[in-house]
Structure 1
Amino acid sequence: MQIHHYLNFADAIAGQQIAAVGIGPDADLILLVIDPSDSSAAFGRYVSPAGASFPHASTPRTYPASVLHWKNGSFRRVDIAALDVAHPKIQPMADGGILIVASRCNFNSGAPDKNAALYDSQGRLVRRWVFGDGIQDVQVSRDQRIWVSYFDEGIFGNRGWNTPLGSTGLQCFDTEGETLWRFEPPAGFDQICDCYAMNVADDGVWACYYTDFPIVHISKNLETQGWSNNIDGARAIAVTRRKALLWGGYSTNRKRCVVQSFGNDYMTSSQELDFTLPGDTPSPITHTIGRASTLHFIAGMSWYQFDLHTLS
């Protein structure tokens, strides 16, 4: 399995801490970076009387942040003076804008947190809206549809959400925050209980979800098709016309890579691949993201890629 070392961004970060990683539709890398002293504000947690730890839905104060964006050989840096998004996700927008989303959202008795924030290319806030609680991933398509996947708490309800916004597990929004589409499973497949992996590609959207981990495709016309799959727990997916690669799993399978072929309604010909980063790379992989046919990895201060087409 040939992993390509694409970029070392240590000089661009210059001592800051990565707060969020995103991959855009052009296989572009976008990072949200902060000063380490602001980590407690961006990633605050509280402990319940029973001793359980929970992430804050909002920040106790604002913090300065910078957006680093590499696209088609160019680089830009955008500073945001006062960000108030907790446990952030990030995506680039086509006009140079930046979407930053908090993964948690309190319902607040009908006045929910506006946990999605859109900034312009200069780092100025444009608008805010609600994406709901329990956000697993956010990816923006080339035509500026915003796809949001949810984990179990965002589907079944927590933080005051009796009717969660993310109850279907996968939704599509426009750039005004209006819902364009909500997931309904293909015939013969269960609803999403926890959307483990999502990949927004030019041919549509791919997802793999709990409980039975089918691989599902949502076409550009928002039609769904599913394939049964016996590889459980995958956290990222890359696809070509004929194959799918599932990355990750439970326990000792957290770095598992399995390639399968698409059958009529089930995945076939499973092949587990040996996975190593090139060279001497002691840093652990901290982020794995699938966009189209490529898996993107962040390890230490480096960006790596693997294109599934190299196996086809």
Structure 2
Amino acid sequence: MAADLLTPYARLPRAYRDRTVLHSTVDAFGRAHWLLRTARGGDDLYDAVVVTVEDGRSEETHLHSVRARFPRLDALPDGGFVVADARRRTGDGGGDGARDGEDDEQVQVFDALGRPSWGFPVGDAIEHLLTDPEGRVWVGYFDEGTCGDDPLSFPGVRCWSSTGAPVWTYEPLPGVGWLVDCYALNVARSAAWAYPYTDFPLIEVREGRPPLVRSTPVRGARGFAVHGDRVVFFGGYDESRSRLVDCRLTDDSIEVVTEGRLLRPDGGEPGRSRVVSRGPRLYVQEEPFTDWAVYDIG
């Protein structure tokens, strides 16, 4: 089985290596970001710093009064950031419960100076949170959200404006029905694609068009890259964790062209990792989550 190698992409500067990495991502413009805790305040609030690396240069943005216990981070085109709590705190007596107004700030929007500007809820059990070049926030949920009692996360995939206005919500499509778990989400400049459990169709969303559904023979991938009429899936269950499946897009389906493996830059098998899918690029980050590598089909 042929193998391709990831290419080193971005590295957290050594000066920050002694801090806890709360989350890390690569944004719609190719900039890598790390969210690091700096200090704890009162009432479970804490301060944090976002370290941004672009073309080998790094800069800091200090965030004040962060609420998220299980943070998901991404950048906005105006230099600000969104930080979401993957688990929504509700005031219904279950879980931790929410203090007055806390649930309204599940997603916090920070300006370019790191000041919290406003917040809004998006639903429980966030698996993926990706912003697009327009600043919209795309969210894919795992099964505790889609099968739980939170109406915001029940659809499985949603899109919000950066001010919290609903932009797009998945509704059952012919041959797909309701989604159980959004395994992978790819957000690019002009489109977004979702890859949900259990039948793993590829759902393409473009503004002004009905969603397009393609059946796939690929199960359990953790990320995918899309370019033209080509889609490449990465990962799978058990021994397939480094699997790479190169496919061709047709009008209503996906045809496998070849299979291989995607390995670390040093040729080793990737271990536990995060995957971010952005158009033609797959970004992969292994523990301890200080380095990003990339696979680009563009």
- For normalisation by structure 1, the TM-score amounts to 0.84
In structure 2, C-alpha distance between the alignment counterparts of 1:181 and 1:22, rounded to whole Å:
23
Asked if structure 2 preserves the Cα contact closer than 8 Å seen for 1:112 and 1:130, the reply is no
Three-state SS of the structure 2 residue aligned to 1:85 is coil
Say whether residues 1:303 and 2:292 are aligned partners: yes
Q: Give the drift of 1:241.
A: 1.0
In structure 2, C-alpha distance between the alignment counterparts of 1:283 and 1:230, rounded to whole Å:
23
Q: Give the drift of 1:140.
A: 0.8
Say whether residues 1:279 and 2:266 are aligned partners: yes
Say whether residues 1:145 and 2:136 are aligned partners: yes
Asked if structure 2 preserves the Cα contact closer than 8 Å seen for 1:119 and 1:125, the reply is yes
In structure 1, C-alpha distance between the alignment counterparts of 2:281 and 2:18, rounded to whole Å:
28
Quote the residue 1:17 is aligned against: 20
User: CA distance change for structure 1 residues 62 and 233 in 2, over 3 Å: closer, same or farther?
Assistant: same
AA in 2 matched with 1:127: W
Tell which deviates more after alignment, 282-291 or 296-305.
282-291
Q: Give the drift of 1:275.
A: 2.0
Residue by residue over 1:127-178, the C-alpha shift from the partner in whole angstroms, topping out at 9 and shown as x without a partner, is 11111101111111111211111111111225xx3xx211111111112111
Three-state SS of the structure 2 residue aligned to 1:153 is helix
AA in 1 matched with 2:146: I
Say whether residues 1:227 and 2:238 are aligned partners: no
Q: Give the drift of 1:21.
A: 1.3
In structure 2, C-alpha distance between the alignment counterparts of 1:64 and 1:236, rounded to whole Å:
31
Quote the residue 1:249 is aligned against: 236
In structure 2, C-alpha distance between the alignment counterparts of 1:208 and 1:255, rounded to whole Å:
18
**Structure 1 segment 111-260 matched on structure 2, within 5 A:** 113=103, 114-158=105-149, 161=150, 164-260=151-247
Quote the residue 1:102 is aligned against: 85
User: CA distance change for structure 1 residues 124 and 112 in 2, over 3 Å: closer, same or farther?
Assistant: closer
User: CA distance change for structure 1 residues 276 and 82 in 2, over 3 Å: closer, same or farther?
Assistant: same
Pick from 33, 38, 50: which aligns with 1:67?
A: 50
Residue by residue over 1:66-96, the C-alpha shift from the partner in whole angstroms, topping out at 9 and shown as x without a partner, is 1011245643201224322111100000111
Tell me, which stretches of 5 or more residues in structure 2 are unaligned? 93-97
Three-state SS of the structure 2 residue aligned to 1:15 is coil
Quote the residue 1:77 is aligned against: 60
In structure 1, C-alpha distance between the alignment counterparts of 2:55 and 2:173, rounded to whole Å:
36
User: CA distance change for structure 1 residues 280 and 270 in 2, over 3 Å: closer, same or farther?
Assistant: closer
Asked if structure 1 preserves the Cα contact closer than 8 Å seen for 2:11 and 2:292, the reply is yes
Tell me, which stretches of 5 or more residues in structure 1 are unaligned? 42-58
In structure 2, C-alpha distance between the alignment counterparts of 1:96 and 1:83, rounded to whole Å:
17
Quote the residue 2:95 is aligned against: none
Tell which deviates more after alignment, 203-212 or 68-77.
68-77
User: CA distance change for structure 1 residues 280 and 268 in 2, over 3 Å: closer, same or farther?
Assistant: closer
In structure 2, C-alpha distance between the alignment counterparts of 1:283 and 1:201, rounded to whole Å:
25
AA in 1 matched with 2:74: Q
In structure 1, C-alpha distance between the alignment counterparts of 2:260 and 2:269, rounded to whole Å:
20
Asked if structure 1 preserves the Cα contact closer than 8 Å seen for 2:158 and 2:168, the reply is yes
Q: Give the drift of 1:12.
A: 4.6
User: CA distance change for structure 1 residues 222 and 126 in 2, over 3 Å: closer, same or farther?
Assistant: farther
In structure 1, C-alpha distance between the alignment counterparts of 2:194 and 2:22, rounded to whole Å:
24
Pick from 254, 266, 279: which aligns with 1:267?
A: 254
Asked if structure 1 preserves the Cα contact closer than 8 Å seen for 2:10 and 2:53, the reply is no
Asked if structure 2 preserves the Cα contact closer than 8 Å seen for 1:213 and 1:232, the reply is yes
Tell which deviates more after alignment, 13-22 or 85-94.
13-22
Asked if structure 2 preserves the Cα contact closer than 8 Å seen for 1:10 and 1:302, the reply is no
Asked if structure 2 preserves the Cα contact closer than 8 Å seen for 1:285 and 1:297, the reply is no
Tell which deviates more after alignment, 292-301 or 272-281.
272-281
Three-state SS of the structure 2 residue aligned to 1:108 is coil
Asked if structure 1 preserves the Cα contact closer than 8 Å seen for 2:242 and 2:261, the reply is no
In structure 1, C-alpha distance between the alignment counterparts of 2:57 and 2:182, rounded to whole Å:
33
Asked if structure 2 preserves the Cα contact closer than 8 Å seen for 1:26 and 1:71, the reply is no
